Amino acid sequence: MSTTTRQAEALNLALSSPPTSSRGLIVGTDLLSGQLVVHDPFVAYEDKIISSVNVAVIGDVGKGKSSLLKTWACTRQLLLGNRRVVVLDKKLQGGRGEYTALARYLGAPSIRFSLDGAGSRLNLLDPVIALGGDEIDAAGYALDYTERPTGQMMLLRAVLSEALDRQVTEREGKALRLALLAATRDARERDRVPVIGDVAHHLLHPTADDANTLDRTVAELQEWGLDCSFALERMIQEDLAGLVDSETSPEVNLDHPSGLTHIDISALPTEGPALRIVMALINTWQTNMLAARSERAEQTVNIIEEGWHVAEGSIGQVLRRNVKLSRGLGLSTVVGIHHIADLAADSPGRALLQEAETRFIYGQGSYDDARACAELYNLPPGTEDTIISLEQGTCLLHVSSRAPILLRHERSPREIGLTDTDGTLTGTLWRI
């Protein structure tokens, strides 16, 4: 039977284009086409698909976001061989952070912070963290730190804002700056590392030279720093005891051969400033360390599991400043959170979620939470209904301004075992 070319067009099978590039790490299966979904923020940045390598993972408890974080954002990254993963583990499971079993499987130690004095310590004045905007060059000009991670001075201001429950005043800031420089100078002369207690001491005991430079008396300069000194002393003895008030523990490093650094902060109380301050300090220490190593062109994935909602105010500003330097540091920050509504509209945490150009949106239990996701990322009309109906293990992957992909996260049998979060209830904890 004869036919024409026009008529034969109807005989061609429709071929759907791949939902993503073939470059990157396997995430799962496109539920509409059945094809593999492949994505990696560093590769997507290289291919000019995105301009930010930061990632947001949003979803209700039990929907599967932790499984994605432990596999796609963690173990699969390590398979590439040239990447490092740092996990800030807030979720408690069996008395330890939820990633403890995964760290044991990979042979990596867990760096645990606790208030009982038995955990690790991270010096707020660790030499890795630059002084910041207080440093001057040989000609007496201030160095430009606008494109560098947060320094000690900004971190101290943020900590004191938490302790005082208000912003540091200009006079307090000046007294704090002088005390920090004096503490650093004295420690160097004694061939040791300065600690936060040294700053508190110099706030109470300013030098005559420092007072003279301001045309003030020692008593006046002491008055400027009195509240700050008392607040630091209280935090050292109470809220932050055993956490940030001595030299950094040797085990706190980024260099384990496995490529994984597991930082267990699950023992820190959600209420109070300890968790917020330690999170900001760890993040600042890490970004300064990466900045010092930037010539190696290494890529690092930083996973923040839960607890992000506590990063508000001055501490949140510190975190946001550090995360915004991701391009120069080769750092992708992956944030896991239950609900966007947990973050205030003007909070640094919400701003960071919005700036992330890779978004995994899992099921939400309420229409308001689903609508908040759709509004934050300008998703197509009706997406709220899809988000509400997402089953466990399925999500929407939204990359930059592209159409969202409905996918099922795929895991190997080994990964299923490693991502089990029911061990405490089933009695199978740590049997992997």
Question: Digits of tens for pLDDT over the chain (432 positions)?
Answer: 454 544 444 444 444 566 667 788 999 999 999 999 999 999 999 999 999 999 999 999 889 999 999 999 999 999 988 899 999 999 888 889 999 999 999 999 999 999 888 899 999 999 988 765 444 333 333 334 445 667 899 889 988 988 888 999 999 999 999 999 999 999 999 999 999 999 999 999 999 999 999 999 999 999 999 999 999 998 888 888 889 889 999 999 988 999 999 999 999 988 878 888 888 889 889 888 888 777 777 899 999 987 666 667 777 778 777 777 788 888 999 999 999 888 888 888 888 888 899 999 999 999 999 999 999 999 999 999 999 999 999 999 999 989 999 999 999 999 998 887 655 334 454 444
Predicted confidence at residue 345, as pLDDT, reads: 82
Considering the domain architecture, whether residues 288 and 360 belong to the same structural domain is answered as yes
Give domain status of residue 158, yes or no.
Answer: yes
Domain boundary among 181, 206, 237: 237
The angle at the Cα of 29, spanning 28 to 34, to the nearest 5 degrees, equals 165
Structural contact between residues 199 and 179, judged by C-beta atoms closer than 8 angstroms:
yes
The answer to whether residues 35 and 16 touch, using CB atoms and an 8 Å cutoff, is yes
Please say whether the beta carbons of 316 and 343 come within 8 A.
no
- Asked whether residue 108 falls in the same domain as residue 157, the answer is no
Is there a contact between 316 and 158 (Cβ–Cβ < 8 Å)? no
**Are both 275 and 191 inside the same structural domain?**
no
Q: Is residue 291 part of a domain?
A: yes
Q: Which residue in this structure is represented by tokens 């429709």?
A: 14
State the Cα–Cα distance between residues 355 and 225, nearest whole angstrom: 37
In terms of C-beta density within 10 A (0-12 exposed, 13-18 middle, 19 or more buried), how is residue 413 classed? exposed
Q: What one-character-per-residue DSSP string does 303-349 give?
A: EEES-GGG--HHHHHHHHHHHTTHHHHTEEEEEEES-GGGS-TT-HH
Identify whether 245 is part of a domain: no
Contact 98, 89 (CB under 8 A): yes
Same domain flag for 263 and 412: yes
Question: Is 175 inside any structural domain?
Answer: yes
pLDDT of residue 158: 87
- Tell me if 33 sits within 8 A of 19, measured CB to CB: yes
pLDDT for res 422: 59
The structure tokens listed for 349 are 């945490």
Q: Is residue 161 part of a domain?
A: yes
Largest CA distance in the chain: 107
- Clarify whether residues 282 and 387 are in a common domain: yes
192 & 275 share domain: no
Asked if residue 127 belongs to a domain, the reply is no
Structural domain includes residue 7: no
Q: What is the CATH number of the domain that holds 340?
A: 3.40.50.300
H helix or E strand, kind and range, residue 409? strand 405-409
Q: What local confidence, expressed as pLDDT, does residue 133 receive?
A: 44
pLDDT at 138: 33
∠ Cα 197 234 316 (to 5°):
85
Query: What string of DSSP letters covers 260-301?
Result: EEEEE-TTS-SSSSHHHHHHHHHHHHHHHHHHHTGGG--EEE
What is the SS3 assignment for 359?
strand
Number of domains in the chain: 2
Q: Which among 210, 237, 264 is the end of a domain?
A: 237
Q: Are residues 232 and 278 in the same domain?
A: no
Q: Are residues 297 and 421 in the same domain?
A: yes
**89 and 165 belong to one structural domain:** no
**pLDDT, position 30:** 94
What range defines the domain where residue 169 resides?
Answer: 152-237
How many Cα atoms occupy the beta-carbon half-sphere of 403 within 13 Å? Answer: 8
Model pLDDT, residue 431: 46
Q: Which tokens in the block code for residue 142?
A: 């201030």
Q: Are strands 394-399 and 36-39 parallel, antiparallel or unpaired?
A: unpaired
Same domain for 86 and 215, yes or no, is: no
- Within a domain: 183: yes
Closest CA to 372 of 11, 105, 10, 60: 60
Return the SS3 of 85.
Answer: strand
258, 376: one domain = yes
Please give the pLDDT value at position 132: 56
- Cβ neighbours for 253, distance < 8 A, ≥ 6 positions apart: 261
- The structure tokens 């030499």 sit at 127
* pLDDT for the residue numbered 277: 86
